[in-house]
Chain A
Amino acid sequence: MNGLQIHKAGIASSVQDSGRVGTLSIGIPPSGAMDRPALMSGQHQLGHQHDEAAIEMAYADFAATLTEAHDVVVTGAPVQLRINQQACRSEGVHHIEAGQTLEVKATREGIYSYLHLSGGIMTTPQLDSRSTSPREGIGGLDGGFLKDGDIVPLGAPDKAVGAADPQLTIKNSTTVLKLRFVAGFQFDDFADEAIRSLLAEEFTVTAKANRMGVMLNGERLHSGIAALYSEATCYGAIQVPPDGKPIILLNDRQTVGGYPKPGAVISSDCLRLAQSRPGQRVRFAVCSPEEADRIGWLEQHYLETRLRDRH
């Protein structure tokens, strides 16, 4: 079988494409690549047209052998790349021969890196996506994170024409990351003091961060809201549990929740948060829905411009 034989999977590697649409109503989160521009960058460089999945690696510590020759690209958080025990530059497309070994190791920046392979990953899609939702056991390889010894099936490398690196790597702020959010949900019901703290204080990203969400540390937010009827969550929702430590919900979030939420961080800033290491300082700022629309439109335009063919 044409496959990627994994020797070392690392702490949280999984098959991800751009995720699912329309499954919230049956309780399944969208999942998909935490760093969507990184996914698109790799697809672009290999000439992929069909939302081919990549292997997402958190704090990459990954080693695998290819049973057949493929082109590969690594995107997202910067890594050290070794092919057949030879260190090589991590950017750009690399041709790897059958039997050669590939090692990907995280550097000190970012969290999620993506290994893209020509021909694409050929695990069976579920609900129109190959993305893994580990909690639900859906998608990917047997619904879970990749393990040492797994063999990820690959498609035959096609004659797709790749393109130049669109330079979409997220460079996080070395000082304070701004988290702009659209106020909503229970914003008006939150205790004034909690909203004041949310807007005035600085928070830091904790180690309690994964594909479901990122917990922040800082001034405790006491919403003063006792109990809520369960309702839909959304990408970026700022969930405030009774302990007062806000959690920003991301790709593998529960689709419904009963904790108070003063709003939701816009997706552009969520991507940067997802790629932030523990200790990253963040600050919240309210953003009107119209401003969020403008930022979204500009980001989309920027992506499309970068992803125009440039050979």
Chain B
Amino acid sequence: MDFELGPAGEAAMRLVFTGPPQPALTRALLKIETKANQRFGSMLTDSVIGYTTLTLFFSASALERDRTEAWLREQAEAIALTDDSDPKHSAADVVLPVLYHPSVAPDLEWLADDRSLSIDDVIALHSDATYFAYATGFAPGFCYLGTLPAALRTPRLDTPRAKVPAGAVAIADAQTAVYPCESPGGWRLIGACPEPLFNLGNTPPSRLSVGATVRFEPIDEADFRALGGVVA
């Protein structure tokens, strides 16, 4: 698979693969990340996996460019993507309960109408799939999950909402996600998850991490309330 290597500012190196995102690539990036932690130890202060990228952050002046680049090149060349399938039918690592109901999901009826589907069809489509965590970011605990069934794919709102509540289950393009905390957001909201996704008291603080497989489990309003969910 083709890749490029380059600087990400002064103290970071960026490895990017030019092909489309796929779980096998993410798994390969996770492996390189683990090896980098062993190879560079405390010189490596952080690393971030994107859809097709791995960015390694070094402590100031600890980055030996030539050697690091040579090492990363070696790792990238050794990648063999054997399994490039979406994990559609595998058991999920994480199952998140979701109340799919217009009272907590302002775009659910719109989406059903727009696709000439019943709300139950939308729920079935969204909750039958197993998703793969390609990247984290935007907000602590926010995880970009793919791939959304084609029938549900929809562009972002033209004007993002100023306030999306914590737990909102959202879709945009071929992605789905749960907002871990209240924030502005332009994704369409089709459900609500009562379980917290980010808590600094937990190790790790985030419920979802890159490489995890995730499924959504429809629940009713009573269960949603029992799990701590709030219906306006």
Are A and B interaction partners? yes
Contact partner of B10 (CB less than 8 A), chosen from A126, A185, A257, A293, is A293
Which residues from chain B contact A28 at a C-beta distance below 8 Å? 140
Quick one: given A232-B50, A234-B57, A300-B61, are A256 and B136 in contact (CB under 8 Å)?
A: yes
Q: A229-B21, A267-B10 are contacts. A26–B136 as well, Cβ < 8 Å?
A: yes
A126-B200, A232-B14, A296-B61 are known contacts. Are A27 and B138 too (CB-CB below 8 A)? yes
Q: Which residues of A contact B204 (CB under 8 A)?
A: 26
Whether A256 contacts B48 by the Cβ 8 Å rule is yes
Shortest distance from the beta carbon of B17 to any chain A beta carbon, whole Å: 10
> Is A255 part of the contact surface with B, judged by Cβ < 8 Å?
yes
Q: Which residues of A contact B200 (CB under 8 A)?
A: 126-127, 138
Q: Interface residues of A: mostly helix, strand, loop or mixed?
A: mixed
Bound CA–CA A231/B47 (angstroms): 11
Kindly list chain B residues whose C-beta atoms are within 8 Å of the C-beta of A289.
Answer: 7, 10, 65
Q: Is B141 an interface residue (CB 8 A)?
A: yes
> For window 21-45 of chain A, which residues contact chain B by CB distance below 8 Å?
21-28
Whether a CB of chain B sits under 8 angstroms from the CB of A266 is yes
Closest to B200 in A: A126
Is there contact, CB below 8 Å, between B50 and A136? Answer: no
Known contacts A22-B46, A136-B140; A184/B7 CB under 8 A? yes
Complex CA–CA separation, A263 to B8 (angstroms)? 7
Near A by CB (< 8 A), chain B positions 1-39 give 6-12, 14, 16, 21
Within B43-60, the residues touching A (CB, 8 Å) are 45-53, 55, 57, 59-60
Q: Which residues of B contact A302 (CB under 8 A)?
A: none
Contact of B142 among A27, A127, A183, A229 (CB under 8 A): A27
Whole-angstrom CA separation of A289 from B7 in the bound complex: 7
Complex-state Cα separation, A237 to B47, whole angstroms: 16
Q: Which residues of A contact B51 (CB under 8 A)?
A: 229-231
Contact of B12 among A23, A234, A257 (CB under 8 A): A234
B154 within 8 A of A: no
Is there an interface contact between A256 and B137, defined as CB atoms closer than 8 Å?
yes
> Is A290 an interface residue when CB atoms closer than 8 A count as contact?
yes
Question: Whole-angstrom distance between the alpha carbons of A95 and B77 in the complex?
Answer: 62
Complex Cα spacing A158 to B176, Å: 53
**When chains A and B are docked, how far (Å) is the Cα of A168 from the Cα of B110?**
57
The number of chain B residues with a CB under 8 A from chain A is 41
What's the least CB distance linking B227 to chain A, in Å?
A: 22
With beta carbons under 8 angstroms apart, the residue of A22, A184, A255, A290 that contacts B8 is A184
| Assembled-state Cα–Cα distance A257/B183 (Å) | 16
B127 an interface residue at 8 Å Cβ cutoff?
A: no
**A292: Cβ under 8 A from any B Cβ:** yes
User: Do residues A137 and B181 form an inter-chain contact, with CB atoms below 8 A?
Assistant: yes
Q: Given the interface contacts A21-B45, A232-B55, A293-B10, does A300 sit within 8 Å of B60 by beta carbon?
A: yes
> Would you call B75 an interface residue if the criterion is a C-beta within 8 Å of the partner chain's C-beta atoms?
no
- From A25, A27, A234, A266, B139 is in contact (CB under 8 Å) with A27
The docked-state distance in angstroms from the alpha carbon of A23 to that of B200 is: 11
Chain A contacts for B144, CB-based, 8 A: 230
Contact of A25 (CB < 8 Å), options: B14, B21, B65, B136: B136
Q: Are A27 and B7 in contact (CB under 8 A)?
A: no
A112, CB-defined interface residue at 8 Å: no
Report A-chain residues with C-beta under 8 Å of the C-beta of B138.
27, 230, 254, 256
Q: Does B65 contact A27, Cβ atoms closer than 8 Å?
A: no
Centre residue among A27, A127, A264, A300 by max chain B CB count within 10 A: A27
List, in ascending order, chain B residues with CB within 8 A of A26's CB: 136, 140-141, 204-206
Q: Mind listing 6 A-B residue pairs with CB under 8 Å?
A: A184-B14, A229-B21, A230-B50, A232-B48, A237-B9, A254-B139
Interface positions of A (Cβ within 8 A of B): 21-28, 126-127, 135-138, 182-185, 229-232, 234-237, 254-257, 263-267, 289-290, 292-293, 296-297, 300
User: Besides the contacts A27-B137, A185-B14, what 16 more A-B pairs have beta carbons closer than 8 Å?
Assistant: A27-B136, A126-B200, A184-B6, A185-B6, A185-B8, A229-B50, A230-B135, A231-B14, A231-B52, A234-B57, A254-B138, A256-B136, A264-B9, A265-B9, A293-B61, A296-B61
